[in-house]
Amino acid sequence: MLKALEPFITVDGVGKNYGAVQALQSVDLKILAGQALGIVGHNGAGKSTLISILAGTQMPSGGELTFAQSGISLPGYKVDQAQAHGIRCVFQELSLCPNLTVAENARILHPAIRGVGWKARARKLISDKLDEVFPGHGINPDDEVGDLSIAKRQMVEIARAFTKVDSPIHLIILDEPTSSLDAIIAQQLLTHLRGFVDQGGACILISHLLEEILQSSDRIVVMRDGGVVDDRAARDFDRGKLVEAMGSVAKEQDGARKAAKARQQETEALVSIRPAQQSDGRRLQAFSGEIVGLAGLSGHGQTDALIDVYQKKRRDSKSPAKTVPMALVPGDRQVDGVFPLWSIGMNIVIGSMRQLTRGSLIDPQAEARLCEDWRQKIAIRTPDMNNNILSLSGGNQQKALFARALASDAEIILMDDPMRGVDIGTKQEVYEMIREEAGLGRTFLWYTTEMDELEHCDHVYVFRNGAIVADLAGDEVTEQRVLHASFEDGAEGGKPEAKGPEAKEPEAKEDAAP
Ligand SMILES: Nc1ncnc2c1ncn2[C@@H]1O[C@H](COP(=O)(O)OP(=O)(O)OP(=O)(O)O)[C@@H](O)[C@H]1O
């Protein structure tokens, strides 16, 4: 074990090109034992590329990595060497196999779990770790990963990274680990991470939530356009200094709540549904031009409510007079968002086919104009909108999904925790766009796990166990009231994910060796 603050890895002049795109340019960095290193930077700054190189999943175009313990340096460094050195990485785009169970996914990371009874051992390994990191998680090791919500998948992936079988863990890398977690579960993770670091582990935490970085890091590195532009003790930064160092990213939030619109109760609500678990008469309603927030702990029925709205409107639209165009900005972009074989442009214009069709053909010039407009409006960082969507960084993919929804003629826009991985500057711009569009009469239903985002809503419904438990408007929307409603009935520290089967240890079967 290294002594505290001894370099575990030294990164020396590491660069990476993807064709003409220079994702990293000559990065120098030391990763120290017993230190939580926060990395921040705008979307496309090179953060994920850097950690992919550390995790051995990407080969750099130049430079060296040196391990204090073995002296190994590039080239020739690959994923198996990273694992042998005790490096574990949780990527922003989750890497679990959706058609395998939670326990089977744990086994993939640990080939040493083999022979008779392997499945029971894999179940125990991951269950114990989930209990340790996320008490009250509600995940069954026999759940198929593809059936889990994105928050639960993120929890499984994180817990798996902390499981140990035959080799030690020296460095944990977490890329946007809390992007789909509510505040309570995120805090469970950050507390566990601190314990790991205090025992001598090294950690890299990437996040666009600057408070989280400031709270959890000992040292912070700021990246911009593929390079490191600042590297200091966390106590030397505050939110403003981080934003400034990231450069050209943020018009800072003005902090003041904009006056919420008064509800025009006398007009007919554009959206009105009763959540399936609602036993009283409360309904989720949205009036034309409103921004309506859906809040509460993750997995308490908010996404289901958005789906209900969509389905109800589709049913209504069988009567042509009631057709209301709708669009969705998903948070789970891998599953519900990107068309992975298509270009960035196609991924955007697919939401606007009605406007782009002349006669029975798509107008290619109008299509190109729309793409270019949105590339500029929302600052999608790419040399060419004809490139494949997966060539974009995670946050830039999410921007393309916003562009798809906002460019369309949708009157109702459903947003399912849509800011996953989006940098602070872009967020401010998108918040502004949402306000403007609402001013022009568009209606937004916005589920968010980020408490600050509720500030932008005219009206907020707090969900618990699949039902609305509070209905807040304007200045009533405070963090305290939302949390209080989320935990009423003395459910403090309770089950964050209420849906789905309760975690129950299954009967251990004697399984054939994998
Ligand atoms: N496979 C790829 N092909 C082409 N370009 C790529 C590829 N992967 C990444 N890039 C480019 O490399 C640059 C850095 O991307 P990276 O994902 O490292 O950024 P990031 O800082 O992690 O951004 P985000 O905050 O959005 O996750 C971006 O311009 C991105 O478009």
- Please check whether residues 199 and 258 belong to one and the same domain: no
Q: Which of 16, 21, 52 to mutate to test the pocket of ligand 1 (most atoms within 8 A of CB)?
A: 21
- For 227, phi and psi rounded to 5 degrees? -130, 165
Residue nearest to atom 17 of ligand 1 (CA): 393
Kindly state whether residue 272 falls inside one of the protein's structural domains.
yes
Rounded to whole angstroms, the Cα distance separating 303 from 55 reads 33
What average pLDDT does range 416-445 have in this prediction? 90
Residue nearest to atom 19 of ligand 1 (CA): 44
- Please check whether residues 174 and 314 belong to one and the same domain: no
- Please check whether residues 66 and 86 belong to one and the same domain: yes
Taking the centre of ligand 1 as the mean of its atom positions, its distance from the CA of residue 59, in whole angstroms, is 14
Q: 281-306: buried (b, 16+ CB within 10 Å) or exposed (e) per residue?
A: eeebbbbbbbbbbbbbbbbbbbbbbb
- Please check whether residues 277 and 202 belong to one and the same domain: no
Q: Which of 24, 49, 53 to mutate to test the pocket of ligand 1 (most atoms within 8 A of CB)?
A: 49
Kindly state whether residue 192 falls inside one of the protein's structural domains.
yes
Eight-class DSSP state of 7: E
**How high is the mean pLDDT of the chain?**
86
Predicted pLDDT at 478: 87
Q: Which of 24, 52, 93, 393 to mutate to test the pocket of ligand 1 (most atoms within 8 A of CB)?
A: 393
The pLDDT of residue 355 is above 80: yes
Are residues 109 and 147 in contact, defined by beta-carbon separation less than 8 angstroms?
A: no
Residue 451 makes CB contacts below 8 A (sequence gap 6+) with 183, 295, 479, 482
The pLDDT of residue 504 is above 50: no
pLDDT, tens digit, 9 for 90 and up, residues 114-157: 998 999 999 999 999 999 999 999 999 999 999 998 899 999 99
Taking the centre of ligand 1 as the mean of its atom positions, its distance from the CA of residue 281, in whole angstroms, is 48
- Please check whether residues 254 and 242 belong to one and the same domain: no
Band (322; pLDDT cuts 50, 70, 90) = low
Kindly state whether residue 371 falls inside one of the protein's structural domains.
no
Kindly state whether residue 448 falls inside one of the protein's structural domains.
yes
Q: What is the CATH number of the domain that holds 54?
A: 3.40.50.300
- Please check whether residues 98 and 201 belong to one and the same domain: yes
- Please check whether residues 101 and 239 belong to one and the same domain: yes
Taking the centre of ligand 1 as the mean of its atom positions, its distance from the CA of residue 25, in whole angstroms, is 13
Rounded to the nearest angstrom, the gap between the alpha carbon of residue 176 and the centroid of all alpha carbons in its chain is 6
Domain end point (choices 213, 246, 279): 246
Which atom belonging to ligand 1 lies closest to the Cα atom of 46?
18
Give how many domains the chain has, as a whole number: 2
What average pLDDT does range 425-446 have in this prediction? 91
- Please check whether residues 297 and 160 belong to one and the same domain: no
Predicted pLDDT at 509: 36
- Please check whether residues 273 and 180 belong to one and the same domain: no
Taking the centre of ligand 1 as the mean of its atom positions, its distance from the CA of residue 22, in whole angstroms, is 9
Domain end point (choices 211, 246, 281): 246
Q: Are strands 62-67 and 7-18 parallel, antiparallel or unpaired?
A: antiparallel
Kindly state whether residue 34 falls inside one of the protein's structural domains.
yes
pLDDT, tens digit, 9 for 90 and up, residues 5-46: 788 999 999 999 988 889 999 999 999 999 999 999 998 999
- Please check whether residues 123 and 230 belong to one and the same domain: yes
- Please check whether residues 53 and 90 belong to one and the same domain: yes
Kindly state whether residue 336 falls inside one of the protein's structural domains.
no
| Strand segments (E) across 234-373 | 271-273, 284-286, 291-295, 326-329, 357-358, 361-362
Residue nearest to atom 12 of ligand 1 (CA): 23
Taking the centre of ligand 1 as the mean of its atom positions, its distance from the CA of residue 13, in whole angstroms, is 18
Which atom belonging to ligand 1 lies closest to the Cα atom of 393?
17
Kindly state whether residue 363 falls inside one of the protein's structural domains.
no
Could you tell me the CA-to-CA distances from 239 to 182, 190, 355, 425, 489 in Å, in that order? Answer: 21, 19, 42, 13, 36
- The predicted model scores a pTM of 0.82
Predicted pLDDT at 35: 96
Question: Which protein residues touch ligand 1 with a CB less than 6 Å away?
Answer: 18, 21, 23, 41, 43-49, 92, 381-382, 391-396, 421, 423
Residue 212 makes CB contacts below 8 A (sequence gap 6+) with 178, 186, 190, 205
What average pLDDT does range 72-95 have in this prediction? 82
Residue nearest to atom 24 of ligand 1 (CA): 43
Domain residues for 142?
A: 7-246
Band (273; pLDDT cuts 50, 70, 90) = very high
Kindly state whether residue 360 falls inside one of the protein's structural domains.
no
